[in-house]
Amino acid sequence: MMAAEGICIITFSKELDFIFVLENDPWDIHGYVMSFKRWSKDIVLERFEFPFFPMWVQVFGLPLERHNKENILKVGAIFGEVLMVDSVGNAEGRLPYARVQ
């Protein structure tokens, strides 16, 4: 059921399923990030907020001569604060993409 723009009310038949969903939040469902909170009748929907959370972004197509940590950090900064850079390269050479969180 849609409660407000971007907010759905979902009911679980088993409390254990609900706890599992909350403990493993956020979720990637068909390419959309979903976050879950316990509902309370005291919650004002207009003030309902979800915290920011880190996510990995894959960077493809960076020219080989530009594939370094400094440039990957610049790309990551477009999305917000960079926490980590991964897959910059390996012993066999550069990987086809980099990941930034």
The tokens for 38 are: 């316990």
What's the rounded Cα separation, in Å, for the pair 86 and 70?
12
pLDDT of amino acid 17: 94
**Residue with tokens 């012993």, as numbered in its chain:** 91
Residues 38 and 74 in one domain: no
Amino acid at the residue 89? G
- The answer to whether residue 22 is domain-embedded is yes
Q: Count the domains in the chain.
A: 2
Q: How do residues 83-93 score in pLDDT, each as one tens digit?
A: 888 765 554 55
Task: Point out which residues pair with 85 in neighbouring strands.
Answer: 100
User: Comparing 20-29, 67-76, 90-99, which segment has the lowest mean pLDDT?
Assistant: 90-99
Q: How do residues 3-25 score in pLDDT, each as one tens digit?
A: 667 777 888 999 999 999 999 98
Residues 87 and 65 in one domain: yes
- The answer to whether residue 31 is domain-embedded is yes
Give the domain range for residue 74: 57-100
